[in-house]
């Protein structure tokens, strides 16, 4: 039998070329933190995942805020609403997020919906609680004065209660945002979205720079988000700046 034989030619080793930086470069050596890799993959890995992460967080906090705000307004008028909610809060928080996302998969599938539902669930608890505490923290004499001035219930809410509750509400938003950024990295375990994806991928492929650099990026994102909200808080509620709220 003539013709080329695969066996005769020996094993075929595909040549992908050397990684950028050469075979002694830090990409080939799998160093702990390799700037070359970061600059090489900023535009195709890190930046898109960062944008996804911000989107995931913004959607979750946005929807969570709308629901929690409405629920807090109801609970502010209807007392029975709150205890049932507190029990749910204590319960949901003890479920590890890693498990919660997996438990949602049979119902909502392997998509962005699963992550968002999980994230919204966690923001609801924080935002609801803080909004309600803020509304309840309005001093009785202030409400008395508002009533004395002839304000209706609705006017009292928009002109007195909400502005006074604003520091507590923004404090809640701040915690909701940083918590969501943190949980969204875990969500990538289910759906490869956001900064968690390169972390899990790097862990699987054992390429150190990928998970270290992405982890650092997630940390920077959390700190940046935290600082931006604090700044916004100071601009929105200058009167709350002078005193410190403790629990």
Partner 1 sequence: MTLAYDSFRPYTFVDAFKFMADNAGLMWSKTTEHLIVSGEAISIALLIAIPLGVWLGHIHRGSFVAITGSNILRALPSLAVIAIGLGYLGIGRTNVVFALVVLGSPVILTNAYVAVDGIDPDLIEAARGMGMRPLEILLKVELPLALPLIFAGIRTAAVFIVATATLGGVVGGGGLGDIIVNQASYFLRGVIAGSIAVAALSFAADFVFWSLQRAVTPRGLRLQARSFEPMSPADDAIAV
Chain residues binding partner 1 by CB under 8 A are: 32-33, 86, 89-91, 93-100, 102-103, 105-107, 110, 125-126, 129-130, 133, 167-168, 171-172, 175, 178, 181-182, 185-186, 189-190, 192, 195-196, 199-200, 202-204, 208-209, 211-212, 214-219, 222-223, 225-226, 244-247
Reading the block at residue 85, the tokens are 């909610």
User: How near is the Cβ of 145 to partner 1 at its closest, in Å?
Assistant: 25
**DSSP 8-state class, residue 191:** S
User: How near is the Cβ of 172 to partner 1 at its closest, in Å?
Assistant: 6
Q: Taking a C-beta distance cutoff of 8 angstroms, is the pair 131, 165 a contact?
A: yes
What is the distance of C-alpha 207 from the center of its chain? 25
User: How near is the Cβ of 123 to partner 1 at its closest, in Å?
Assistant: 10
Alpha helices in 109-161 (DSSP H): 112-136, 140-148, 153-155
Nearer to partner 1, 146 or 233 (CB): 233
Nearer to partner 1, 130 or 146 (CB): 130
Alpha-carbon distances of 128 from 64, 73, 124, 174, 229, rounded to whole Å: 9, 9, 6, 13, 18
Residue 193, Cβ neighbours under 10 Å: how many?
A: 19
User: How near is the Cβ of 61 to partner 1 at its closest, in Å?
Assistant: 14
Nearer to partner 1, 53 or 146 (CB): 53
User: How near is the Cβ of 242 to partner 1 at its closest, in Å?
Assistant: 12
Nearer to partner 1, 85 or 146 (CB): 85
User: How near is the Cβ of 157 to partner 1 at its closest, in Å?
Assistant: 20
Nearer to partner 1, 146 or 173 (CB): 173
Nearer to partner 1, 41 or 151 (CB): 41
Alpha helices in 8-96 (DSSP H): 26-29, 35-41, 47-77, 81-94
Please name the helix (run of DSSP H) or strand (run of DSSP E) that holds residue 92, with its range, or none.
Answer: helix 81-94
Q: Taking a C-beta distance cutoff of 8 angstroms, is the pair 28, 40 a contact?
A: no
């Amino acid at each position: 039998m003539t013709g080329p034989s695969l066996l005769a030619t020996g094993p075929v080793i595909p040549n992908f070329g050397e990684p950028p930086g050469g075979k002694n470069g830090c990409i080939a050596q799998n160093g702990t933190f390799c700037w070359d890799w970061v600059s090489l993959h900023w535009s195709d890995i890190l930046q898109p995942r960062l944008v996804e992460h911000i989107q995931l967080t913004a959607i979750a906090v946005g929807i969570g805020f709308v629901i929690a705000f409405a629920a807090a307004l109801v609970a502010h008028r209807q007392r029975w609403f709150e205890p049932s909610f507190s029990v749910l809060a204590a319960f949901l928080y003890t479920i590890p997020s890693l498990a919660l996302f997996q438990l949602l998969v049979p119902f909502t599938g392997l998509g962005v919906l699963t992550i968002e539902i999980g994230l919204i669930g966690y923001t609801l608890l924080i935002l609801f609680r803080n909004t309600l505490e803020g509304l309840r923290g309005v001093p009785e004499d202030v409400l008395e004065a508002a009533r004395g001035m002839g304000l209706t219930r609705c006017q009292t809410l928009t002109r007195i209660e909400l502005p006074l509750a604003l520091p507590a509400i923004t404090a809640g938003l701040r915690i909701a945002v940083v918590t969501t950024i943190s949980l969204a990295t875990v969500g990538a375990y289910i759906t490869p979205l956001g900064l968690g994806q390169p972390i899990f991928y790097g862990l699987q492929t054992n390429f150190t720079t990928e998970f270290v650099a992405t982890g650092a990026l997630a940390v920077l994102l959390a700190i940046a988000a935290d600082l931006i909200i604090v700044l916004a808080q100071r601009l929105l509620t200058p009167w709350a700046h002078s005193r410190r709220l403790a629990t």
